[in-house]
């Protein structure tokens, strides 16, 4: 299958799942060694989960299939440019490459303004829309220090 075939699968998924009432018009597939190993579609409204974006759903499914927290060696095809949350999840999962179809400006045009979050990220904390305050940093650091010393930890 070609890259376009994989993307078409993501796009088809986005339409089918949207029509089935599962959520917004977004689909994603994860490919390893030329084969689709997992798929995901937006399920925010049907599962009452604001993090159930197509990419996150696909990443969770792929990690289950591989029984691994790393998706190194995999590529993601998503029907829309990833939002900041999904982009972060893609980095955490260590996917090799991202292919997307609709752009973030297309998403904004139909009411999904991911670009707004992209604009918040580089702002200083005190300038962000959601107030953010630091509390008990010293106490929290103690757990970090313990992690540093932990001898049987699994790094990821
Ligand atoms: Zn997302």
**Ligand 1 center from residue 147 Cα (angstroms):** 30
Q: Which residues are catalytic?
A: 55
pLDDT digits (tens, 9 = 90+) for 15-27: 999 999 999 999 9
| 3-state secondary structure at position 35 | strand
> Residue for token digits 């929290």?
140
**Ligand 1 center from residue 86 Cα (angstroms):** 4
**Ligand 1 center from residue 117 Cα (angstroms):** 11
Distance, in Å, from the CA atom of 69 to the CA atom of 44, rounded to the nearest integer, reads: 23
Distance, in Å, from the CA atom of 100 to the CA atom of 77, rounded to the nearest integer, reads: 6
Distance, in Å, from the CA atom of 75 to the CA atom of 71, rounded to the nearest integer, reads: 8
pLDDT digits (tens, 9 = 90+) for 90-147: 999 999 999 999 999 999 999 998 888 999 999 999 999 999 999 999 999 999 999 9
pTM of the model: 0.94
């Amino acid at each position: 299958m070609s890259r376009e075939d994989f993307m078409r699968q993501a796009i088809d998924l986005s339409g089918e799942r949207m029509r089935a009432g599962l959520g917004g018009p977004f689909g994603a597939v994860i490919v390893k060694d030329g084969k689709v190993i997992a798929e995901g579609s937006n399920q925010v409204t049907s599962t009452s989960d604001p993090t159930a974006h197509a990419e996150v759903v696909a990443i969770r499914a792929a990690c289950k299939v591989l029984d691994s927290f790393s998706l190194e060696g995999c590529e993601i095809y998503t029907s829309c440019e990833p939002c900041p949350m999904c982009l972060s999840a893609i980095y955490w999962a260590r996917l090799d490459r991202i292919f997307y179809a609709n752009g973030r400006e297309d998403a904004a045009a139909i009411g999904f303004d991911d670009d707004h979050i992209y604009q918040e990220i580089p702002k200083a904390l005190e300038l962000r829309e959601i107030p953010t305050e630091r509390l008990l940093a010293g106490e929290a650091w103690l757990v970090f220090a313990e992690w540093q010393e932990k001898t049987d930890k699994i790094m990821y």
